[in-house]
Amino acid sequence: MPIDGRHHETGEPIRVAATGGVITAVEPIGERPDLPTLAPGFFDPQINGALGVSFNSPTLTADGVRAVVAACRGHGIAAFAPTLVTGPFDALRHGFATLASLDDLAATLPVFHLEGPYISAADGPRGAHPRQHVRPPDADEFDRWQDAAAGRIRLVTLAPELPGALAFIGHLRKGNVVVSIGHTAATPAQLRDAVIAGATASTHLGNGCAATMPRHDNVIWEQLADDRLTAGVIPDGDHLPASVVKCILRAKTVARVYATCDASSLAGCPPGRYRVWGDEFEVTAAGRVVVPGTPYLAGSGHFTDHGFERLLNDYGVTLADALALTTRNARVLLGLPVPTLAVGQPAALIAVSETPEGWRVRPA
């Protein structure tokens, strides 16, 4: 069925027709006051699973992956980078191999993200990652994971203070892998060395670090000030206060920030306690995913549409900038094509409307 709305770039009323998931026509229509804004669907570079399915699971199945993809599509996520976190070698190899085997989902899962295990083991910077599996960078181990992933690991999050990290960054860059600094207790000098070695991004800046730190020489200010780093943020209202998100956007500018939901494997699950990765986690009534009895979050219980609406309704971001943060910037960082509203492009779209209660988004 054709979709009517306003072009997100021009504001012109259009009708979009599609067949087989591909746009077949974009035609002008008459003016109407009730038209939503149409735009390409979200791209999120950090989704760990959903509905109880973890991409880290040693028993991950194709059906499990498809269930996560379906859940994400229901929230307007046209494509995303499945993210595997700190864990044992065989579980990660199985996860990457399972993801790479699904040829029909290659457009939806174009690249993969490895977040750890090469991160700080310290409480705070480590976040909810299992301490027993944290380890120094190992190029041979990574290459075996990359082989299992058919070369699709495009983003690696690591702590640059670890022994061998700078040489490992060079190894990743030779393989066209984007290196992101995260879950780190690095000094400013170590952060600068990582950027010189080839790091170009910061994973969920403001999270994955110590709860308290020096007021000036710390991991947040140093990364915030470096224009060579593109910063990821989680604008779900749980990971960062609105004031911090606003400051990151003002310091980096919208062009050097991307938004992620950081959905955990418990995203979309009802409130309760769950056992994941051998540890217990809790989904609260508000949708927060936490390590029980601690202040640590374990990813998010929300999807990208939730953060998109918060950007518009609570953080003072314009519609054009919110779309850049959620649909475009991470693709540019990872060297992926940016979809447009044109014939031959993917038909996975979102419709954004301004209501008396605020901005709302839905899959189109």
* Catalytic (active-site) positions: 262
Task: Give CA separation, 73 vs 70, 79, 363, in Å.
Answer: 5, 8, 7
Number of H helices, E strands in the chain: 10, 20
Query: What region, left, alpha or beta, does residue 323 occupy, with left being phi > 0 and alpha being psi -120 to 50 degrees?
Result: alpha
CA 306 to chain centre: 13
Using CA atoms, how far apart are residues 251 and 103, in angstroms rounded to an integer? 40
The helix/strand/coil state of 65 is helix
Straight-line distance from the first to the last Cα atom of the chain, in angstroms, rounded to the nearest whole number:
10
Structure-token pair, residue 10: 């021009």
SS3 content of the chain, % helix, strand, coil (to 5): 30, 25, 45
Tokens 């943020």 -> residue:
233
Using CA atoms, how far apart are residues 226 and 212, in angstroms rounded to an integer? 21
Using CA atoms, how far apart are residues 5 and 24, in angstroms rounded to an integer? 16
Task: Give CA separation, 126 vs 220, 237, 252, in Å.
Answer: 15, 21, 25
